[in-house]
Amino acid sequence: MVKTNNNHKGHPPSFWNESTRIVHGSQNADPLHRSLNAPLHLSTSFKWNSVEDDGGYDYSRTANPTRTVLEEQLAQLENGLFCSTHGSGMAAATAVAHLFKQGDHVIISEDCYGGVFRLFNDVIRHFGIEVSFTDLKNLDGVQKAIRPNTKCIWAESPSNPLLRLVDINALAEIANSSNALLVVDNTFCSPILQKPLDLGAHIVVHSLSKYVNGHSDVLGGAVITKNKKLGDRIHFLTNALGIGSPAFDSWLILRGIKTLKVRYSHQQKTTQTVAEWLQDHLKVKRVIYPGLPSHPDHELAKRQQKGFGAVITFEVDGGKEGAKTVAESTEVCTLAESLGGVTTLIELPAFHSHASMTDKARQKAGINDALIRLSIGLEDENDLINDLGQALRQLPEMNIRIKNHYNGSYSPVSKGVLGV
């Protein structure tokens, strides 16, 4: 865990624009040889200066110079002061979960990532911690869910996979008035689009495996805060649990960060185009994407984020079988779990990312078997549209419906009337 120091000569000046700071964030990590990229330190142990002076590093489970560079850059990107990195996004979530003790109460977004649901529902509850899965968009409901022993509100914004946004400022007010922590999973936005700490969150968590690294070749997670007490505790837990980010993984993520902004900018542009195309397609029942004016949180996204992200969730005619047909028929879009990489990935959340949730929990959250999640990569937008088009053509024509552009509703069309 590190505390950032913006006056250190190794850190880019704060007055530089974000794109420049991202590229140069780790450039001065090697004052001895002046390498452009941060060195990779694979040593498990480090020589002590004396019996009582470890020189800053003793054992790589506790800290590693390569990991330190990554933690410094992530803390700066999120406008935080303290950062600990971990072996996966779930390892980061596990570190935060260990802040709580028997008798505490935690409120979790009801449409959270399946792995987070599994962690709190099937693991943390066994430690005597009370867990409530709640609709965090309903602020009155959140207020009513608060108990005297509530210690945390855990939010995802946008959520996975329904892309629901929560008002982070409003949740922070509720958390502060209840002496609870507000934890925000910022994986879908990355620091490029949203900085939850600036909006009142106490802790930000990331799966670095997604956009921050961006190449689908490494697992990683991060916990970032402005609070020294929380930062010190997370660092202690990271060391005690043995879940810190390995040096090589940290080095790979540092490489990925350098192209984060340019990658995400391109991905967002393509995503907007694909979402608009899907919205007008006759075999698509609904499209969920914050960049569409039809999204209920479109205005909140414009106010709270610097963009709309690169994930689309949509539903086609034919229910579960229709969704399976589309997902199994794509060629450019790869049927695989995860998101945020350079390759466009398609999945059915009920069978993949959220399979660990109970049927009842998925139904409560609105995650049905027919949902398709699409994570847009760096392919040409025309190739993606053509690929999705040929996959949608595999659906029976009897499911085709005409969209009413006045109210967004659809009307059935007799089979064979339209060829799509």
Which residues are the active-site residues?
61, 113, 185, 210
Type and span of the H or E element at 342? none
Residue 412 β-bridge partners: 401
User: Alpha carbon of 155 to those of 41, 66, 96, 111, 136: distances in Å?
Assistant: 35, 30, 13, 9, 7
Nearest-angstrom CA–CA distance, 404 and 407: 6
CA distances to 41, 138, 143, 176 from 166, rounded to whole Å, are 40, 9, 14, 16
- The half-sphere exposure of 385 on its side-chain side, counting CA atoms within 13 A, is 15
How far lies 68's CA from each of 39, 72, 247, in Å? 11, 6, 9
> For residue 18, with 0-12 CB atoms within 10 Å meaning exposed, 13-18 middle and 19 or more buried, which class applies?
middle
Helix axes 260-279, 381-392, angle to 10 degrees: 40
Q: Using CB atoms within 10 A of its CB, is residue 1 exposed (0-12), middle (13-18) or buried (19+)?
A: buried
* Residues whose CB is less than 8 angstroms from the CB of residue 90 and which lie 6 or more positions away in sequence, other chains included: 115, 116, 119, 207, 221
The dihedral of CA 368, 325, 355, 217: what is its sign?
negative
Instruction: Print burial letters for 278-311: b (CB count within 10 Å at least 16), e (below 16).
Output: bbebbbbbebbbbbbeebebbebbeebbebbbbb
